[in-house]
């Protein structure tokens, strides 16, 4: 029986330990000569069920602020002299023993319990350590003209709509890490400290707020105190050095990296500039880039060590982003050159080759990037086969299992092997005929020249027949003619080919010529043919399409019925 009691006690202890801890909530209201509104503000806050204590800090008021606050039911702490909003908040903070503190101005005319709840609930639910409010109001000149520009410059990761909202709530443990300013700089100081220290802040929209409009003199004072606070934090957290010194070092590093890229580009791609000039520019760039990148690294480490962690990383990324991009571009360029380097008999040869950007401007507009291709020997037992990348097939107008005739020998087109997406595997006899060697790099635009004059048998398979289009690989021309083959009044195949003027082209069925078509000075006439109980039609559309297919005169199209 005793063991059962032990188990029950253990389960009860577990249930108790999992129960959320009750969090005491206090609301602090700093007030200076706010006798007209402080009472109603306290009354509204009292309606919020989870608020345990309300403290009004009477900051040296000369009117009945303290009396009105007491009458409304708040605890009042009085400063004999006006010390400023920040001092009032700090006094209230030091006077309470609670888990969560909210700070609400005493001059709000339309405060509601829902607005107070919206400030505090995210913290009670564990969604943030600090909440600050945003709301629509008539003023905001200090925010837009002073706070936001400075924050964007020194703390670009801070992007709140209203960094000076004045109304906020926080866990007391989070506020222990923050330095309270004594004046109007307290709001933006809390935001900056929280951001740099990595304390989670949530901006909560509480709707419209009606504040007393501050006179111009007060706005001037507020602006000065906000500027002083932001600049003080920028110095404290190394943001001035980051923007000024590191910014200069980064700009000079980018100059050096740009010179390296310019020098390499000149060496490999600009023939009329002497090699020595490109080398000198590259070396100068290396010296400048190395010197200033080292300065950037050293200065960044010093700032990182003396600055609290948190969101500093975000600012570092934004400040260093141009340098990072320049380094990536240079590394990609160098890797391209290394990939194009070969070493043979004590000689290093670097022959960079690029892919071709292919843009088709016809009705089926497509864009693709193709090549370059590396020549290699056909693998064992594949002496009658050419393995060709799919991009190369598209350029030559061929497909898998098509036949290519080179030097009067037939070879089957096959796909590349796994992991060899840009490798052309060619039998030795074909390499000799095409005058290429292992390791040669062929740009996509050169394929037509390499395989020029080769004959292609392009096969189209159907359940009832096979169509074989026969053409010779030629240089790309824009005078190709689009044609369509119809069998028994059904479209069977369409393509584009180059037809010589005043030349006759034959249509074969089962290996026998059944009729011909003629290109009379670039003009074709649609033709109809009969083979057994089948009708065959050839239709032409003069579209001046681009093509590399030079039609074969004696055997333009060959059809075999099954």
pLDDT for 18 equals 45
CA 221 to chain centre: 42
- Which phi-psi region, left, alpha or beta, contains residue 435 (left: φ > 0; alpha: ψ -120 to 50)? left
Q: Which of 198, 123, 206 is nearest to 166 (CA)?
A: 206
How many other CB atoms are found less than 10 A from the CB of residue 75? 15
Q: Are 183 and 86 in contact (CB under 8 A)?
A: yes
The domain ranges of the chain are 20-235, 240-341, 356-439, 455-561
pLDDT for 280 equals 93
Cα 119-123-125 angle, rounded to 5 deg: 115
- The CA-based diameter of the chain, rounded to the nearest angstrom, is 116
The pair of structure tokens assigned to 30 is 């700093």
**CA–CA gap between residue 19 and residue 58 (Å, rounded):** 38
**CA–CA gap between residue 54 and residue 57 (Å, rounded):** 10
How many other CB atoms are found less than 10 A from the CB of residue 516? 16
CATH class assigned to 356-439: mainly beta
Main-chain phi, psi angles of 129, to 5 degrees: -95, -30
Q: HEC states along 326-340? A: HHHHHHHHHHHHHHC
The pair of structure tokens assigned to 509 is 């069925």
Place of tokens 């801890």: 21
Tell me the CA distances in angstroms from 326 to 256, 268, 295, 323, 560, one per residue in order.
10, 19, 17, 5, 60
Tell me the CA distances in angstroms from 41 to 38, 104, 135, one per residue in order.
5, 9, 17
pLDDT for 187 equals 82
Per-residue pLDDT of the chain (562 residues; tens, 9 = 90+): 555 565 555 555 555 444 456 789 999 999 999 999 999 999 999 999 899 999 999 999 999 999 999 999 899 999 989 888 888 888 988 888 899 999 998 888 888 999 899 989 999 988 889 898 887 655 466 767 777 788 877 777 777 877 777 788 989 888 888 888 877 788 888 888 888 787 888 888 888 777 666 666 666 777 888 888 888 887 787 677 666 777 788 889 999 999 999 988 888 888 788 888 988 999 999 999 999 999 888 887 777 666 655 555 666 677 778 888 888 988 888 888 887 776 766 667 676 777 677 666 554 556 667 878 999 999 888 999 999 999 899 888 888 999 999 999 999 999 999 989 889 999 999 999 999 999 888 888 888 889 988 999 998 888 889 999 999 998 877 788 889 999 999 999 999 898 888 888 989 998 888 888 888 877 788 889 999 889 999 998 876 777 888 999 888 899 999 8
**CA–CA gap between residue 553 and residue 275 (Å, rounded):** 51
Q: Which of 45, 64, 47 is nearest to 55 (CA)?
A: 45
**CA–CA gap between residue 545 and residue 481 (Å, rounded):** 6
* Residues comprising the chain, all counted: 562
Which fold would CATH assign to domain 20-235? Spore Coat Polysaccharide Biosynthesis Protein SpsA; Chain A (3.90.550)
Q: Which of 452, 453, 447, 450 is nearest to 436 (CA)?
A: 450
pLDDT for 178 equals 82
pLDDT for 17 equals 44
- Cβ partners under 8 Å of residue 512, min gap 6: none
Q: Are 559 and 466 in contact (CB under 8 A)?
A: yes
H-run or E-run covering 430 = helix 428-434
**CA–CA gap between residue 509 and residue 557 (Å, rounded):** 8
The pair of structure tokens assigned to 265 is 């580009």
**Strand bridging mode 527-531 / 534-551:** antiparallel
pLDDT for 107 equals 87
**CA–CA gap between residue 147 and residue 230 (Å, rounded):** 8
Q: Are 374 and 422 in contact (CB under 8 A)?
A: yes
pLDDT for 28 equals 92
């Amino acid at each position: 029986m005793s063991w059962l009691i032990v188990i029950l006690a253990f389960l009860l202890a577990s249930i108790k330990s999992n129960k959320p801890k009750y969090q005491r909530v206090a609301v602090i209201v700093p007030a200076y000569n706010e006798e007209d509104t402080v009472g109603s503000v306290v009354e509204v806050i009292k309606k919020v069920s989870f608020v345990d204590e309300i403290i009004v800090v009477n900051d040296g008021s000369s009117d009945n602020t303290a009396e009105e606050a007491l009458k409304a039911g708040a605890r009042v702490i009085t400063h004999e002299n006006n010390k400023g909003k920040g001092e009032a908040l700090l006094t209230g903070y030091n006077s309470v023993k609670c888990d969560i503190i909210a700070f609400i101005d005493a001059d709000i005319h339309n405060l509601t319990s829902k607005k107070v709840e919206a400030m505090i609930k995210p913290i009670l639910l564990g969604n943030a350590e600090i909440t600050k409010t945003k709301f629509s109001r008539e003023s905001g000149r200090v925010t837009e003209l002073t706070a936001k520009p400075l924050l964007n410059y020194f703390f670009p990761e801070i992007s709140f709509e209203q960094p000076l909202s004045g109304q906020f709530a926080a866990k007391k443990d989070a506020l222990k890490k923050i330095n309270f300013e004594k004046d109007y700089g307290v709001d933006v100081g809390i935001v900056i400290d929280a951001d740099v220290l990595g304390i989670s802040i949530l901006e909560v929209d509480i709707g419209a707020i009606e504040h007393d409009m501050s006179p111009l003199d007060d706005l001037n004072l507020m602006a000065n105190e906000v500027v002083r606070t932001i600049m003080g934090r920028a110095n404290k957290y190394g943001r001035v050095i980051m923007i000024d010194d590191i910014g200069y070092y980064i700009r000079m590093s980018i100059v050096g990296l740009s010179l390296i890229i310019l020098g390499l580009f000149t060496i490999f791609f600009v023939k009329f500039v002497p090699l020595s000039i490109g080398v000198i520019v590259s070396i100068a760039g290396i010296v400048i880039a190395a010197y200033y990148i080292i300065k950037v690294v050293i200065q960044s480490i010093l700032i990182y060590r003396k600055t609290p962690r948190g969101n500093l990383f975000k600012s570092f990324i934004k400040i260093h982003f141009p340098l990072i991009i320049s380094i990536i571009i240079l590394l990609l360029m160098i890797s391209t050159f290394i990939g194009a380097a070969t070493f043979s008999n004590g000689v290093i040869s670097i022959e960079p080759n690029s892919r071709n950007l292919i843009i088709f401007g016809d009705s089926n507009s497509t864009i693709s990037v193709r090549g370059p291709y590396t020549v290699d020997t056909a693998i064992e037992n594949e002496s009658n086969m050419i393995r060709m990348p799919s991009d190369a097939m598209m350029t030559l107008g061929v497909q898998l299992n098509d036949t290519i005739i080179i030097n009067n020998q037939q070879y089957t087109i096959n796909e590349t092997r796994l992991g060899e997406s840009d490798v052309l595997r060619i039998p030795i006899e074909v390499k000799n005929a095409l005058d290429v060697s292992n390791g040669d790099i062929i740009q996509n635009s050169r394929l037509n020249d390499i395989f020029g004059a080769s004959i292609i048998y392009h096969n189209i398979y159907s359940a009832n027949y096979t169509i074989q289009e026969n053409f010779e690989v030629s240089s790309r021309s824009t005078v190709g003619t689009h044609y369509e083959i119809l069998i028994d009044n059904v479209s069977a195949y369409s393509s584009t080919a180059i037809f010589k003027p005043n030349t006759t082209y034959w249509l074969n069925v089962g290996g026998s010529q059944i009729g011909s078509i003629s290109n009379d000075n670039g003009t074709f006439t649609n033709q109809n043919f009969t083979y057994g109980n089948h009708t065959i039609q050839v239709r032409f559309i003069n579209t001046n399409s681009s093509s590399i297919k030079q039609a074969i005169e004696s055997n333009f199209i060959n059809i075999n019925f099954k």
